[in-house]
Amino acid sequence: MTAPKTAPRSALVISAHAADFVWRCGGAIALHAAKGYEVTVLCLSFGERGESAKLWKQEGMTLQRVKDARRAEAEQAAEALGVHDLVCLDLGDYPLELGRADKDRVVEVIRKVQPSFMLSHSKYDPYNTDHMYATQVALECRMIAQAWGHNPGEKVLGAPQLYLFEPHQTEQMGWKPDTFLDITPVWEKKRAAIECMQGQEHLWEYYTRVAINRANHFKRNSGGQSGGRDCKYAEGFESIFPRTVDEL
Ligand SMILES: [Zn+2]
C-alpha cells in the first residue's frame, strides 16, 4: 500500500559515527531532500574515540570536547545536505555496543520515521567492526520495527530497502554495489558537507575521487557509449533485499 499523497516520503540513515553519513551517502541525502523526502540521520556515536585523531593531537583535549566538536561538525554537515532531523544517540565508539534499551530507541526512531528506504554500512568491515555492527543493529531493529507484537498499537514498519553504502577500503569488505545514484546535481552540497569535517581533512580529496570513479560506473551501466547518461559524480550502494516488480 502506498502512503497517502500528502505524507512526505522519508528515508533513514543509520551511521555508526558522526561523519560516516557525509562521506558515504551525503549525495543520496541531499538528492532526496531536494526531491522532498524528509531524511533522518541517526548517529549511534560521535566517533569520538576512534575517528577524531586530529582533535586528539591538540593539547588538553578531553572526551567531552571531542564529542562537542564532532557534534557541531555533524550538525553543520546535516544542514548543508538538507537533513530533516539529526538524531545523535551518543552510545560510545571503539567499540560501539548497544544494549536492549538502546536498540529499542533505534526501533522507536525507525517506526517514527517510517522510511521508504534505509541506508547503513557494509555487512563486513575488518578494519572497523563498529561499522558492520551498525548494520547488524539496523537489520535487527528493522525486523523488530516490523513485528506486530512489539509495542502493539504503534504503526508497524513496511519493508524498506536497506542500502549499504560504500565502505572505506572497498575491496576488503566484500561490498559489491548493485545500484549507482547520480549525485551530480547536488555535488556542491556534498562537498560543502565534506568540508565541515575539519578533523578528517585527509579524506576530502579521496571521497571526491570516489564519487568521480562511481560516475564512470553510472555512465557505463546506463548505456555507456551507446546512449548512456552523462554523470560527473555518483554514489554506489549494495541492496540487501530483492525488488518486487511487474516488469523487468
Ligand atoms: Zn565510522
In a domain, 45, yes or no: yes
Expressed in angstroms and rounded, the spacing between residue 227 Cα and the centre of ligand 1 is 38
pLDDT at 201 (0 to 100): 85
CA 45 and chain centroid, separation: 13
Strand-pair category, 38-43 with 161-165: unpaired
Residue 200 pLDDT class (50, 70, 90 cuts): confident
pLDDT tens, position by position, 43-73: 999 999 998 888 999 999 999 999 999 999 9
pTM of the model: 0.95
Expressed in angstroms and rounded, the spacing between residue 49 Cα and the centre of ligand 1 is 11
In a domain, 197, yes or no: yes
pLDDT at 211 (0 to 100): 98
Expressed in angstroms and rounded, the spacing between residue 17 Cα and the centre of ligand 1 is 5
Which segments of 201-241 are extended strands (E)? 234-239
In a domain, 5, yes or no: no
| Calpha distance 152→30 (Å, rounded) | 34
Expressed in angstroms and rounded, the spacing between residue 239 Cα and the centre of ligand 1 is 20
Expressed in angstroms and rounded, the spacing between residue 20 Cα and the centre of ligand 1 is 5
| Calpha distance 216→46 (Å, rounded) | 32
Residue 8 pLDDT class (50, 70, 90 cuts): confident
In a domain, 2, yes or no: no
pLDDT at 5 (0 to 100): 60
Average pLDDT over residues 123-143: 97
Strand, helix or coil for residue 163: strand
Q: Look up the domain containing 82 and give its range.
A: 10-239
- Where would I find the H helices in 46-151? 53-56, 63-81, 100-113, 129-145
Quick one: cell of 163? 542500502
Kindly give, in sequence order, each residue whose CB lies less than 8 Å from that of residue 83, ignoring residues fewer than 6 positions away. 29, 33, 39, 40, 41
Contact in structure between 33 and 77 (CB atoms under 8 Å): no
**What DSSP designation does 154 have?**
S
173: domain CATH number is: 3.40.50.10320
Expressed in angstroms and rounded, the spacing between residue 137 Cα and the centre of ligand 1 is 14
Whether residue 1 is predicted with pLDDT greater than 60 in this model: the reply is no
Average pLDDT over residues 131-150: 98
pLDDT tens, position by position, 214-244: 999 999 999 988 888 999 999 999 999 999 9
In a domain, 246, yes or no: no
pLDDT at 49 (0 to 100): 95
In a domain, 219, yes or no: yes
Expressed in angstroms and rounded, the spacing between residue 124 Cα and the centre of ligand 1 is 13
Expressed in angstroms and rounded, the spacing between residue 246 Cα and the centre of ligand 1 is 38
Number of domains in the chain: 1
Mean pLDDT score of the chain: 95
In a domain, 104, yes or no: yes
pLDDT at 7 (0 to 100): 76
Expressed in angstroms and rounded, the spacing between residue 160 Cα and the centre of ligand 1 is 23
In a domain, 1, yes or no: no
Whether residue 3 is predicted with pLDDT greater than 60 in this model: the reply is no
End-to-end CA distance of the chain: 21
Expressed in angstroms and rounded, the spacing between residue 44 Cα and the centre of ligand 1 is 10
Whether residue 4 is predicted with pLDDT greater than 60 in this model: the reply is no
